[in-house]
Amino acid sequence: MPFLKEPEYTHGKTGKTAILLINLGTPDAPERGAVKRYLKQFLWDQRVVEIPRPVWWLILNGIILPFRSGQSAKKYATIWTKDGSPLKIHTEKQAMLLKGYLGERGHDVHVSWAMRYGSPSIPSALQKLKQEAYDRILILPAYPQYSATTTASNMDAVFSHYQQVRNVPELRFVRNYHDHPAYIEALRQSVLKHWQQNGRPEKLVMSFHGLPKAFLLRGDPYHCECYKTARLLAEKLGLTKDQYLVTFQSRLGKAEWLQPYTEPSVQQLAKNGVKRIDVICPGFIADCLETLEEIAVEVKQAFLTAGGKEFHYIPCLNESPAWLRAMAEISEQHLAGWPTMFTAGMREEQKQQALISRAEAKRLGAPH
């Protein structure tokens, strides 16, 4: 059969709504084999690398995977926790908390999560929602700024899965929220909280994940959305143009990427006499290898070695209450028109069930 088997249909069941929070992905373990599998899936995505497939197959399998897998595994090992990958832990907690926040707002909505690369996969998460009879699904990306390499790749995976499904649910996609007031406010509160505890820097560096410059020239709006996020955050913080700097990190290969690059930029700041900088990564909603190792370790060392005296990394939004409220507000706007609200006839214990996830996330260590 060309389609997956449908679950048994029961007449009289009311429709149910779910949100699927999708993050980029992470290896299953900080080991060479696991990292190689993850990188192979990630870097083979034509949304991520647009080089012709035969040429790229040789480069990927002959050069990158044999050498980069072991190096990346060592870096992952430095940030790994007893509960696993920080990215996976934060994504799971965010999903649990979002369900609770939406429940408090009166929404009977299930929230699950998946990874574009790695596990749990998008197909497995969607198939589970199918088995549990959810027929309205909102796809919420963990990427505030739209890019074909991330948000559109999520869409590819969702549509590819439903090519195998006979009874496709109603779907909605959050495209971006780079300028959403609640997201900007969550960033503002994160920075101010850090400054209240540690004082202010001479320069705030806003580091976003990089992309090849060619993607910008071909029409990807990511670069512009990053700069808009930075401008809005700077305005909310009352910063002048010379008090903050936008940079791009995580360059791969020798081609030109979006500039200025983060590490050379902070080195130049140090050489110019700047003694303290704070770095925030607004494009990541959860701490991961690119923030905890690349920024908080490698970029910090580059700044200090170049003559800087004090470096502070401001953590990602993770499970901050302001960010969870923002996630709920963003979701609520995209759920508009769907029958998600608890009805007057529902028993109180049914509504309380939606709040269990928030209590469980708090028990696991998320902030109140």
Please tell me the predicted confidence (pLDDT) of residue 365.
60
- Residue 6 marked as a ligand binder: no
Which sign does the torsion angle of CA 297, 303, 306, 308 carry? negative
Distances in Å between the Cα of 308 and the Cα atoms of 196, 247, 272, 274 are 22, 18, 9, 6
- Residue 225 marked as a ligand binder: no
Residue with tokens 């044999």: 66
Residues in the chain: 368
Please tell me the predicted confidence (pLDDT) of residue 359.
66
Please tell me the predicted confidence (pLDDT) of residue 8.
85
Low-confidence stretches of the chain (pLDDT < 50) are 347, 368
User: For residue 136, what is the enclosing H or E element?
Assistant: strand 136-141
What pTM value is reported for the model?
0.93
